[in-house]
Amino acid sequence: MNNLPPELVAKILEYLDLADLRRAAAVSRDFYAIAWQAGLYIHRNIRWSADSGGFMQHTTLNELVRHALKKDRLRLSFSCSVMSFSLELIEKAPFPSSIHDLLSLITSASPVLVSLKVMGFPRFIASLAAALRHSAPNLAALDITVPLFYVGIIVQDLSVGLFSGCAPKLRRLTLQNIPLGREPVAAFSCLDSVRLGYGDQFPPIELVRHFPLMRNLHVRLMTESHEPLLLSLNLDGASDSLRKLTIQFHHLSARTPVILTGTDMSGVPDVEHFGSAIVWSDRLWHRAADGPISIRLMWRSVREISISIVPEHGRWRRVYNRDDWAPGKDEFPVLRLPGLRERLTYLRMDNNLLPSFLECNGLSLGTLRKLHIDFHVRTPFSPMIWPPDWLHVLSPLDINPYSFSEQDTSAHGFSKPSYCYVECGALECLAFFAMDKAIAVQSGEVAFLGRALSQCARRAQDRATLELFGVDFHVPVVQALLDETFAEVRRHDFEGGNSMPGRDGGLWDREPRP
């Protein structure tokens, strides 16, 4: 019982009324005691709407609160929704008695609440802040939201006297469209995780002043504007505690760039970005951005890719989840940043991102040692390299590379290509990994890929080795092309379910090391 996740048991208890809980306690006092010792709680969803004239709920909440207040270990969790589209009620009309009853209920439940989530119109939220005037000794998570469709209605600053300044266990806070005043809220002094959401402008907040012990910050903006978004975060003094920064954007114009102004993220070990294209700058990198760097390009959906950047020592990380990716364009500007490109030693990508990578014309990756390509059969793309229309440039003749015989390759002089798209003069290994099951690819495609990576321009003994994990060639194999492109071809059996079990050492998944 002690190992059960609270969320799972809370979902079960949510549908039990008080009589059922009492019967369960009567049958098994041990269950009753162990459940509360494990920190489990009873969750209730509370909804109010003007149309229904009041609340929609499972059981009498007042009785539940009274019962919890009598039990030392019994804890409660509330999710409340109080919505209205009546301008009269939103702006100045007196609240109906049912809303006052809810505010009184929340006030009385403060000592036993472990989680409180409230979404409502601005006037109700202002009244809620006034109702949360008592200490909350067990509260661990607080979520207060004003939906964006109340835009234009003034929302009051959150009261600095919330919970009388006493919420010693409060660690997680979510505020959506809730302004903070100049003075910090004393109850927020021990927060570990903070989520802040606003419209198209992030208000000027001295984050460290309000959240001095914050380790995790999630910023979310939503806009319909087609103009560039300007984001400025005051992270001064945050480097001592802040470990993870997440920036998320939702908007109708997927091409709206996000410009980070006056925001120095160099002291934050872990930064993750969700949304449209960003304007790349050195302020995004960690101040200790030295030594070899690894990059992973992952295809997630038709328009979504993920770019992960980590150093060899693993002490910082940058992840960019883009939702505006379009094949056929130079979609990897990160590879052109001098401060990063000159230290890139390991690049890993999904096979269906290869065309976009090869279209980075004139890109030189002079320090790249290993290029690792994952082949996913589950994607809507065939497990092939899918070279674009530039293949014929590698030959004096326009010949289908998939139908070569070894006589054709020698006869038409394919050992001396005249063009390459990405210069990889130090490449030591080109590795193919079958992710889902063993596959076969065209040897002509593989050879042309090696040539597009400038391998034929190198001495034979300096060329990259081709490593195939769970990958074989269709017949006929154009062995002459392979021999003229790679120093050696090594084949390995399919390893099953993962491209490199134990080989990456958790490089892409782990949190940065301290």
pLDDT reported for residue 405: 39
Dist CA 185 CA 191 (whole Å) = 11
Residue recorded with tokens 């002043």? 209
Task: Give the integer Cα–Cα distance in Å for 376 and 79.
Answer: 41
How many Å apart are CA 488 and CA 475, to the nearest integer?
19
Least confident of 117-121, 202-206, 215-219, 481-485: 202-206
The secondary structure element, H or E, covering residue 471 is strand 471-473
* 173 class by beta-carbon count within 10 Å (0-12 exposed, 13-18 middle, 19+ buried): buried
pLDDT score, position 155:
80
158 or 266: which carries more pLDDT confidence? 158
pLDDT at residue 203, as a whole number: 82
Candidates 242, 230, 303; CA nearest to 269 is 242
Q: 3-class secondary structure for 358-421?
A: HCCCCEECCCCCEEEEEECCCCCCCCCCCCCCCHHHHCCCCCCHHHCCHHHHHHCCCCCCCCCC
Mean pLDDT computed over 468-480 = 89
State the helix-helix crossing angle for 61-70 and 97-109, rounded to 10 degrees: 20
Q: Does residue 282 register a pLDDT over 80?
A: no
**Predicted confidence band of residue 413 (pLDDT cuts 50, 70, 90):** very low
Residue 101 has pLDDT above 80, yes or no: yes
Q: In angstroms, rounded to a whole number, what is the distance separating the alpha carbons of residues 178 and 75?
A: 27
Name the residue among 385, 371, 375 with its Cα closest to residue 294. Answer: 371
Residue 29 makes CB contacts below 8 A (sequence gap 6+) with: none
Task: Give the mean model confidence (pLDDT) for residues 433-445.
Answer: 86
- Whole-angstrom distance between the N-terminal and C-terminal Cα of the chain? 33
With b meaning 16 or more CB within 10 Å and e meaning fewer, what string describes 78-96? Answer: bbbbbbbeeeebbeeeebe
Model pLDDT, residue 41: 78
Contacts of 389 (CB under 8 A, 6+ apart): none
Please name the residues in contact with 452: beta carbons below 8 A apart, sequence gap of 6 or more. 358, 387, 390, 394, 420, 421, 422
Q: What residues contact residue 308 under an 8 Å CB cut-off, 6+ apart?
A: 295, 296, 298, 317, 318, 319, 508
Q: Tell me what the mean pLDDT of segment 382-398 comes to.
A: 39
Cα–Cα distance measured from residue 163 to residue 101, given in angstroms and rounded to the nearest whole number: 19
* pLDDT-based confidence at residue 391 (cuts at 50, 70, 90): very low
Task: Identify whether 204 is preceded by a cis peptide bond (ω within 30 of 0).
Answer: no
- Could you tell me which residue, 259 or 167, shows the higher pLDDT? 167
**330: its two tokens:** 């130079």
Tokens 């004139």 identify what position?
362
Cβ atoms of 117 and 83 closer than 8 Å: no
Rounded to whole angstroms, the Cα distance separating 66 from 493 reads 65
Average pLDDT over residues 56-81: 80
More confidently predicted of 240 and 47: 47
pLDDT above 90 covers a percentage of the chain that reads: 25
Note whether 113 and 77 are within 8 A (CB). Answer: yes
Place of tokens 């049912």: 98
Is this structure's pTM higher than 0.85?
no
Name which of 28-42, 186-200, 243-257 the model is least confident about.
Answer: 28-42
Give the residue, 194 or 75, on which the prediction is more confident. 194
CA-wise closest residue to 288 among 261, 263, 268, 273: 268
pLDDT tops 80 at residue 140: yes
Look at residues 80, 20, 12 and name the one whose alpha carbon lies nearest to residue 41. 12
The length of the chain is: 514
Using CA atoms, how far apart are residues 459 and 461, in angstroms rounded to an integer?
6
CA distance 23 to 13: 13
Single-letter code of the amino acid located at 62: N
Residues 477-514 pLDDT 10s: 888 889 989 999 999 988 765 545 456 777 877 778 77
pLDDT at 14: 61
User: 151-160, pLDDT tens digit by residue?
Assistant: 777 788 888 8
The whole-number pLDDT of residue 409 equals: 40
Is the separation of the CB atoms in 192 and 243 below 8 Å?
no
Per-residue pLDDT, averaged over 95-104, amounts to 87
Confidence of residue 279 (pLDDT cuts 50, 70, 90): low
